[in-house]
Amino acid sequence: MRRKRRAAVRSATAALLLAGLLSAPDSAVMAQSTGGEGDLVAARVAELLEIVTATDAQSDAAAAALEAVQADTALSVSAREQVMHDFALQLRAEAESAAGRGALEALTAYQSRFLVQFEGRGPAIVPKWRVAGVARGTLTLWDRAAAAAGAQQQLAAGTMDLAGRIAKAERADDTAALAQAFAAAPPEQLRAQRGQLLAMVERNDALAPAAAEAALRLQDAELAAAVLASGDRRTATRLIAGIGEAMPAEKAFPILRDASRDEALASAAILEIGRSAAGTLTAARSFLLESLADPRTGASAAAALAALEGDDMVAEVAAELRASDDETLQSKAVLMLALDGSPRARESLRAFALRRDVSEQLRQDVLTWLREGTE
């Protein structure tokens, strides 16, 4: 089956090469599309942008300009498609207009003709300029911006009905727009919505992105905990990554410690404790040391401890290694010292490898790390 597919791709490739719609090497594509035609492409894009962003822009004029580009014999097929691609992309920096939306909607139906070979999991022939895809992306961003602006107005007026808004949300972009509005709103507007968010987020995952923004902006531990307990694991992971910067260590650590009990969030939480709290909080460092013996979190704790500056943690981990006969803790302590790689850490590893009560596998791991550290 794979051979037949490759043969079919080769056959199609040959036909497209003959038709002039597929480049040979990538360098040839770049020479054709950006070499001699680069200035002309930029000029055509600028002309299109000027037409659709004019104060009296007309949809008919934009449509006619796009048709002119598609029929422009002064440009190669690749260059024409690059004009449309770059025009759709650069519209993302412009305010939405009826003429711009009309032009983008027309481009979503465009079928790219200039193709290139792509070697991924297998040979494939793909568009060099994804005109329709970029146009759809720009429309999505405009829709999200408009929805966010509407949500911001409701927040400012105190008329936000979260339950009703989420009930009407039909796409992920609707909830993303709400989160965007919460990210831009003043803290007093967020406080007015806190009660609704706290009551609803654990049973309605669609509110998690907005609640996460509010939790970080307000440094709200209770709201952060509610987001972490929701079913939106992606938002929970992003929240963990932002807690250390948004909150002081003494407030962030208890939230992260609790999050580490969730197997899906444990690694991210442990690493964030090391990054944001262990440098200043004795309790956070002690927690990471205890976590070395936990099979779920030991490797993450080792990495977090190894990233801390100074020799103090090396001395503490080395002491744990000398005193313990727990092989799980030993293996993770060895990992931390190997990741640290300092002279003091290597000295502790050499001493450990000489012990008679060390398993042969762990001894070999230590010797391998010591050898690799000298190469």
Q: Which two tokens stand for residue 99?
A: 């003429």
Residue 230 lies in a domain: no
Report pTM.
0.69
Q: Which residue has the higher pLDDT, 105 or 56?
A: 105
Q: Which residues pair with 126 in a beta bridge?
A: 116
Q: Which pairs with CB-CB distance under 8 Å and at least 24 residues apart come from 120-126?
A: 122/2, 122/5, 122/6, 122/9, 123/6, 123/9, 123/10, 123/13, 124/9, 125/9, 125/12, 125/13, 125/16, 125/22
Q: How far is residue 60's CA from residue 3's CA, in Å, rounded to a whole number?
A: 49
User: Domain limits at 38?
Assistant: 2-138
- The size of the chain, in residues, is 375
DSSP state of 220: -
Write out the H or E segment, with its range, that includes residue 116.
strand 115-119
Q: Which residues pair with 22 in a beta bridge?
A: 115
Q: What is the mean pLDDT of the chain?
A: 85
Query: pLDDT digit string (tens) for 114-159?
Result: 998 876 666 678 899 999 999 999 999 999 888 889 889 989 998 8
Q: Which two tokens stand for residue 171?
A: 């796409």
Q: Which residue has the higher pLDDT, 340 or 5?
A: 340
Name which of 305, 243, 241 is nearest 278 in CA terms.
Answer: 305
Question: So what's the pLDDT on residue 13?
Answer: 41
Q: Which two tokens stand for residue 157?
A: 């007026």
Residue 48 lies in a domain: yes
Question: So what's the pLDDT on residue 122?
Answer: 60
Distance of CA 222 to the CA centre of its chain: 25
Total domains present in the chain: 1
Question: So what's the pLDDT on residue 373?
Answer: 64
Residue 252 lies in a domain: no
Residue 108 lies in a domain: yes
Backbone angles phi, psi at 271, to 5 degrees: -65, -35
Q: What is the CA radius of gyration of the chain?
A: 29
Residue 171 — pLDDT band, cuts 50, 70, 90?
A: low
Residue 50 lies in a domain: yes
Query: pLDDT digit string (tens) for 345-366?
Result: 999 999 988 888 888 999 998 8
Residue 305 lies in a domain: no
Least-confidence region, from 55-59, 101-105, 129-133, 281-285: 55-59
Residue 23 lies in a domain: yes
Residue 83 lies in a domain: yes
Question: What is the pLDDT averaged over residues 19-34?
Answer: 42
